[in-house]
Structure 1
């Protein structure tokens, strides 16, 4: 199983929207996908239509109570997409894990215990912070995707995230690499979006994914219906972008043969 963290400590950049729709797109093109909601707000869980009453086990249990990933995982409305939801308990997990000797390795230990072949890809939706929850995700992940909003201050804080990635890579997870920067909320009517996209590509080069996700009303509406945009309106520009992004992500994964990525 290939684990990918989706992280950016800035809020409102389309991180959870990217996690939900990328997971759905990967499932739609034939991958068995696990999405872990590691954000105490639980927006990924809500956005996939999983109510609080259905969250018998959660990512909190995975980290604190040693519950197995396969026990905590729920089937979603999307075929081949499972979810480990978040509950409000997760907000206290960082405090509870502080005194644990393996506090940064709780998530990777849980995922290593999953049955081989159960899932092809695991996406981890991180909270908008660089605390212990995000560190657990980075230790557990092979790759990192950073959603970046194409608006003013887009690069603000990115250097801090990259430094955290370097520290985690040096101390706990030497295999961690940046799979790509995903430009989100792109507004073709706004010249600023184009300027920001150009600046990001000038600074980060080929680390920036080619696919740009546009600002799209249908994508924004979808979570209120408990559906990914790809299910809510598969033909909208946002859904088309996430399908394209999924294919690009698979194409960048070195562990998959070119024939599989087609």
Structure 2
């Protein structure tokens, strides 16, 4: 009997055949688990290929084209794809070249042979988390505002931010290109005539945090992006870049596969 829930092998991409590589070998090679543990994962029904649960140890796949996830987390099989996180300093433009001669992102990609590109942008006067990759499909999902990927910013602003101002940010403010509301907003600190505000947004509009805070009477003094989707800046120093960990790559690819066909209205 052939059934999708038990790993049907009747045709389609990734169907079992004498071609391809055994699934447990692929999982072991990608550092998911040892071959024996990977086999146990398959038998327990924890592994899916192209969205279908596989429980047969003889299953072969094509790492170049098939999509695999374990316990709902995507596994990177295409070793040609590179994913890098950068803590962009202020004064650097979000571009691989700048016709005005300003510092750009090329200096942070020298350690990788692949041609990496930035996912979205941060203003030159904004620091923080920027993703660099050669994965165009993932970059599209992360950067396009219709997919609703959230970003978390910490803004140092002028003046004492009051609770009613936070509520106004949550309810929405009218800007020249339409009404915008923060997904989350909270006051972190206030002293010496300045306040620290944390804003979570899924909007991709240009200079949105600066414009929102100016609209409520608190111009931004400093701005840093601390989070982008499932990625956190953590303790990465300003001006440093590193490859994503296996866990981070899994979270990012899972987000891409889940949202790639379902844009947010």
Q: Same fold (TM over 0.5)?
A: no
- Tell me the TM-score normalized by structure 2: 0.26
Larger Rg: 2
Which of the pair has the greater relative contact order for Cα pairs under 8 Å at 6+ separation? 1
Higher helix residue share: 1
